[in-house]
């Protein structure tokens, strides 16, 4: 029983040690991958070398953008096929299943949309909540200077999967939502994922190049969504950037063209279409598409769309505020995302039920059919219609009154309000298609009214120009979408979507007027969402107040700057890194007295320097060298002395000679007794005992009790003892660098390699002392191979706010240091700049002091009583992270990086 318990105990301890060893190796591997990057194999290195030295020279950016465009085209095609399947299934449940009971038909109409919306809400909330909503406001924030690490979860693979699947289910349910914003987000995620491949890693090593590729990805997303490469590039420029670099034009155009072309080719290859054609193909008259008198109507339509577009943005913001202020609605949204999404899906499906209110708003049609029918060039209210035209007009004709205006008005009002309400659902969604449909309905109403007022057309000279209501629908769609998004490029997108540019002048006139009116009344929908989400975005300056010109950098800069200096110790550096985890780069000064700014050092480089300074490998290497030196000294001391040229004679022992002389004078019997006394050993005063006994049992004795119940256990101890007696000593092999066991009976060339750290590593207490001693040493940036990055932009305390705003907006930086004659005195981050601009625009800024003029001041000595104490070097430092880890029993080598 005892040997069984012993065996089980040994096995359990072995498993624990094995598990601890695996965890230790895993932690070491993670730390080394974080500090030095993933380890590449021989094949990977060879392929990377061939790629970087041969293929990449032919155009690495071209390959990256082409691959990005093709992948986006595939995703766009898959999403469209999924949406079409869901819509066809919904129509099949409603039409093909012969339900005589109206309740059964109603349930067949609303069941699938509710299930799809509930699935989308649950899927994205569990997998990646960052995939909810559009995605354009976040991308706009990233491309305006916010570091990508602050929104690192926004561009992950989980977000991509949740966005694609959730968007397909949401749009397949028939909700009045769009897909352009989510496609911009998806393209940005794909670009980020492709950048992590070893063949494209060089593209995203530079932060500026990273931003350029993300801007191109936004254009690719729009191009793959609507097959509009030119409009996609212009739209991405207007939406995501304030100052655009011309060098990114070719990247955006090339990627967008690849995506749009491949998207249309896939449709041809899978026999969905016969040839390449526009998404909403139109057939407007080419010779006389509109008359000069109609330009006034187009301008008035632009004015109306501008006012209503600003109203749409205002209602959207007010509804979001209402959901946050109302405790009941806010509790439903936060506590149970399924309930809120399910209620809205049921409400929308009920309103669009074809046998109910849906008959007054063309609820039976899909989004693509609705837009395509509104862009048709014939008049719905005319008497003579073909069979196909009659089928289309029946969807937009009131069955009671027989006119089209009530249906168009009901459709516009429904889309106006429910596009706002459904956009707050916790699912992926966009707003471009809804505002496009609202504008198309308004334009179609104006076009139908123009046809009633001028049934035979308008005359100009000898030409008669017929009224084409579809042209007014295209103009209205572009004007309302431009008013909501504050972009003129939506007109170009409409040209590419319709396949005609005959209506170029009316579209541009109406869009420009609507954008100007909406910009005066309200911000764009994307800027409004940024304000609602409180994203770290840099707003525009309103130069109407005098505070813009009087405000200086010294009025809002942060004076308490976290910095490091050349003579700082490792312990102080570790404490600064632990307390300021949000900093990704730290300024470096020459010393604490002069505070001359030398540059910045990245957080990653400092962590790697600390890790290399106190890592286990360095400690064991030092200990191994020390033991080698001790072994060499021992061998040197044991060497026999060299023979001397002179004979050395020991001094005679006088007492011994006297004893011999006395013995010679004794009698023969007395001499014999003395001789016996010298030969007899002296009796020990200690008790005789064996070196290893166990209840009277001597393991070395050949006689052992055989009738004992502990015979097996004693035999085991006997074997262990015999091996411990005959086990050779472990010595350090200088060739292998690790302890080896030797034996006289073994072959001299046979060596057993034992764990190095088991024999030469120091005890835990000495390890702590060694680490504490190493951390008390000053850092050496040259020895640690730490790169000091220069500070590109210096601000003076008297720099005006308008100049700082232009600098941040054009360069995309997120912070700048303020110096006075080279001395570091403050820092300005994007957050402080955004806050002061908002205060100025709202009229709440209070200037703290007059403009500061730089002075040439000699810094005071450290002994001066007026010199402020730096908070980075307190007199009594708090316990550092090292001591906390030691108290908890963790190993600093594998845990310090994670704690940083």
- In the chain, what is the greatest distance between 2 CA atoms, to the nearest angstrom? 170
The pLDDT of residue 822 is above 70: yes
Residue 267 CB burial class (10 angstroms; 0-12, 13-18, ≥19):
buried
pLDDT of residue 732: 39
The pLDDT of residue 886 is above 80: no
pLDDT of residue 147: 60
**What DSSP state is assigned to residue 151?**
G
E strands of 409-542, at which residues? Answer: 458-460, 463-465
321-325, 717-721, 761-765, 786-790, range with the lowest pLDDT: 717-721
843 — alpha (psi -120 to 50), left (phi > 0) or beta?
A: left
pLDDT of residue 652: 58
Summarised one tens digit per residue, pLDDT across range 274-296 is: 666 777 778 787 777 777 888 89
Other CB atoms within a 10 A radius of the CB of residue 888 amount to 8
Q: Measured between alpha carbons, how far is 269 from 489 in angstroms, rounded to an integer?
A: 30
Q: Measured between alpha carbons, how far is 100 from 456 in angstroms, rounded to an integer?
A: 46
> Could you give phi then psi for residue 825, rounded to 5 degrees?
-125, -15
Decide: 576 and 872 in contact? Cβ < 8 Å.
yes
How far from the centroid of its chain's Cα atoms is residue 564's Cα?
Answer: 28
For residue 458, the SS3 value is strand
Q: What would the mean pLDDT of 548-570 be, rounded to a whole number?
A: 84
pLDDT of residue 552: 84
> Could you give phi then psi for residue 259, rounded to 5 degrees?
-65, -45
Q: What is the DSSP string of 577-638?
A: HHH-TT-SEEEEES-TTT-BEEEEEEHHHHHHHHHHHS-HHHHHHHHHHHHHHHHHHHHHHH
Tokens, residue 834: 């955004």
Task: Return the closest-CA partner of residue 342 out of 127, 112, 504.
Answer: 112
The pLDDT of residue 686 is above 80: no
Decide: 548 and 806 in contact? Cβ < 8 Å.
no
Q: Measured between alpha carbons, how far is 122 from 170 in angstroms, rounded to an integer?
A: 12
Cβ neighbours of residue 588 closer than 8 Å, sequence gap 6 or more: 563, 564, 565, 566, 597, 598, 599, 600, 601, 788
Estimate the crossing angle of helix 892-899 against helix 2-36, to 10 degrees: 50
174-178, 195-199, 691-695, 843-847, range with the lowest pLDDT: 691-695
CB-side exposure of 210: number of CA atoms within 13 Å?
22
The pLDDT of residue 833 is above 70: yes
E strands of 33-130, at which residues? Answer: none
Decide: 222 and 228 in contact? Cβ < 8 Å.
yes
Give the confidence band of 672 by pLDDT, cuts at 50, 70, 90.
low
Q: Measured between alpha carbons, how far is 862 from 841 in angstroms, rounded to an integer?
A: 43
Summarised one tens digit per residue, pLDDT across range 114-169 is: 999 999 998 998 888 888 888 888 888 887 766 655 567 788 888 999 999 999 99
Give the confidence band of 454 by pLDDT, cuts at 50, 70, 90.
confident
Q: Measured between alpha carbons, how far is 442 from 439 in angstroms, rounded to an integer?
A: 5
Most confident of 157-166, 203-212, 588-597, 613-622: 157-166
Q: Which residues pair with 740 in a beta bridge?
A: 731, 753
pTM comes to 0.71
Decide: 570 and 776 in contact? Cβ < 8 Å.
yes
Decide: 601 and 564 in contact? Cβ < 8 Å.
yes
Q: Measured between alpha carbons, how far is 202 from 541 in angstroms, rounded to an integer?
A: 36
347-356, 474-483, 627-636, 680-689, range with the lowest pLDDT: 680-689
Question: What are the distances in angstroms from CA 167 to CA 159, 164, 219, 504?
Answer: 12, 5, 19, 32
Q: Measured between alpha carbons, how far is 7 from 5 in angstroms, rounded to an integer?
A: 5
Q: Which residues pair with 601 in a beta bridge?
A: 586
Tokens, residue 475: 């103009």
Summarised one tens digit per residue, pLDDT across range 732-757 is: 343 334 444 444 444 444 444 444 44
Task: Return the closest-CA partner of residue 536 out of 147, 60, 828, 806.
Answer: 147
The dihedral built from the CA positions of residue 477, 483, 485 and 486, taken in this order, carries a sign that is positive
């Amino acid at each position: 029983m005892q040997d069984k318990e012993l065996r089980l105990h040994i096995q359990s301890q072995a498993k624990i040690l094995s598990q601890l060893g695996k965890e230790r190796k895993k932690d070491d591997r993670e730390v080394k991958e974080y500090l030095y990057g993933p380890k590449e194999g021989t094949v990977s290195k060879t392929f990377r070398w061939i790629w970087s030295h041969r293929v990449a020279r032919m155009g690495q950016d071209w390959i990256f953008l082409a691959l990005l465009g093709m992948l986006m085209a595939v995703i766009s095609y898959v999403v469209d096929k999924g949406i079409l399947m869901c819509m066809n299934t919904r129509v099949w449940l409603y039409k093909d299943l012969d339900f005589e009971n109206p309740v059964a038909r109603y349930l067949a109409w609303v069941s699938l949309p509710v299930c799809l919306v509930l699935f989308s809400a649950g899927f994205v909330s569990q997998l990646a909540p960052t995939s909810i909503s559009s995605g354009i406001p976040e991308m706009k924030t990233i491309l305006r200077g916010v570091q990508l690490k602050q929104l690192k979860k926004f561009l992950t693979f989980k977000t991509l999967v949740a966005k694609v699947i959730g968007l397909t289910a949401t749009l397949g349910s028939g909700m009045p939502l769009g897909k352009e914003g989510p496609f911009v987000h998806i393209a940005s995620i794909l670009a980020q994922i492709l950048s992590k491949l070893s063949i494209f890693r060089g593209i995203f090593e530079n932060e500026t190049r990273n931003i350029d590729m993300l801007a191109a990805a936004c254009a690719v997303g729009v191009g793959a969504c609507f097959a509009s490469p030119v409009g996609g590039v212009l739209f991405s420029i207007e939406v995501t950037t304030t100052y655009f670099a011309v060098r990114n034009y070719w990247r955006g155009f090339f990627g967008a063209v690849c995506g749009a072309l491949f998207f249309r080719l896939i449709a041809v290859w899978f026999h969905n279409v016969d040839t390449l054609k526009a998404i909403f193909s139109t057939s407007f008259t080419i010779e006389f598409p509109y008359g000069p008198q109609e330009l006034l109507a187009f301008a008035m339509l632009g004015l109306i769309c501008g006012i209503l577009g600003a109203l749409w943005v205002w209602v959207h913001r007010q509804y979001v505020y209402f959901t946050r202020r109302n405790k009941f609605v806010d509790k439903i949204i936060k506590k149970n995302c399924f309930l809120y999404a399910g209620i809205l899906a049921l409400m929308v499906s009920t309103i669009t039920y074809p046998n109910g209110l849906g008959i007054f708003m063309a609820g039976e049609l899909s989004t693509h059919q609705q837009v395509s029918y509104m862009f048709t060039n014939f008049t719905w209210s005319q008497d003579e219609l073909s069979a196909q035209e009659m089928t289309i007009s029946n969807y937009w004709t009131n069955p009671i009154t027989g006119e089209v205006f009530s249906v168009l008005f009901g459709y516009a009002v429904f889309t106006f309000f429910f596009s706002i309400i459904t956009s707050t659902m916790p699912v992926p969604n966009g707003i471009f298609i809804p505002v496009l449909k609202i504008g198309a309905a308004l334009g179609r109403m104006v076009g139908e009214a123009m046809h009633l007022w001028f049934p035979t057309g308008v005359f100009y000279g000898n030409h008669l120009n017929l009224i084409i209501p579809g042209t007014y629908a295209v103009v209205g769609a572009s004007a309302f979408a431009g008013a909501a998004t504050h972009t003129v490029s939506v007109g170009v997108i409409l040209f590419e979507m319709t396949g005609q540019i005959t209506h170029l002048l009316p579209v541009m006139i109406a869009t420009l007027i609507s954008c100007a009116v909406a910009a005066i009344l309200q911000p764009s929908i994307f800027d409004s969402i940024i304000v609602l989400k409180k994203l770290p975005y840099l707003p525009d300056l309103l130069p109407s107040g005098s505070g813009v010109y009087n405000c200086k950098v010294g009025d809002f800069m942060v004076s308490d700057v976290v910095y490091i200096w050349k003579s700082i110790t490792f312990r102080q550096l570790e404490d600064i890194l632990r307390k300021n985890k949000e900093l990704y780069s730290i300024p470096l000064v020459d010393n604490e007295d002069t505070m001359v700014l030398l540059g910045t050092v990245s957080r990653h480089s400092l962590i790697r320097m600390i890790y290399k300074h106190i890592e286990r490998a360095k400690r064991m290497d030092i200990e191994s060298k020390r033991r080698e030196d001790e072994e060499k000294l021992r061998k040197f001391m044991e060497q026999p002395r060299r023979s001397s040229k002179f004979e050395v004679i020991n001094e005679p022992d006088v007492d011994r000679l006297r004893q011999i002389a006395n013995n010679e004078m004794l009698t023969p019997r007395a001499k014999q007794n003395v001789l016996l006394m010298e030969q007899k050993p002296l009796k020990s005063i200690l008790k005789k005992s064996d070196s290893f006994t166990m209840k009277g049992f001597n393991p070395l004795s050949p006689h052992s009790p055989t009738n004992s119940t502990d015979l097996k256990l004693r035999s085991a101890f006997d074997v262990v003892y015999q091996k411990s007696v005959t086990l050779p000593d472990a010595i350090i092999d200088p060739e292998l660098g690790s302890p080896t066991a030797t034996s006289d009976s073994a072959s001299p060339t046979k060596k057993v390699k034992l764990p190095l750290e088991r024999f030469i590593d120091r005890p835990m207490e000495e390890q702590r002392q060694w680490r504490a001693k190493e951390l008390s040493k000053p850092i050496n940036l040259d020895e640690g191979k730490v790169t000091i990055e220069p500070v590109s932009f210096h601000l003076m305390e008297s720099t005006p706010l308008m100049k700082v705003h232009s600098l941040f907006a054009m360069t995309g930086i997120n912070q700048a240091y303020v110096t006075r004659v080279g001395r570091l005195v403050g820092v300005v981050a994007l957050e402080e700049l955004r806050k002061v601009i908002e205060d100025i625009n709202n009229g709440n800024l209070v200037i703290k002091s007059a403009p500061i003029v730089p002075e040439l001041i000699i810094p005071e000595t450290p002994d001066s009583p007026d010199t402020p104490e730096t908070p980075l070097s307190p007199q009594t430092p708090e316990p550092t992270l090292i001591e906390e880890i030691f108290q908890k029993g963790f190993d600093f080598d594998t845990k310090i990086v994670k704690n940083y």
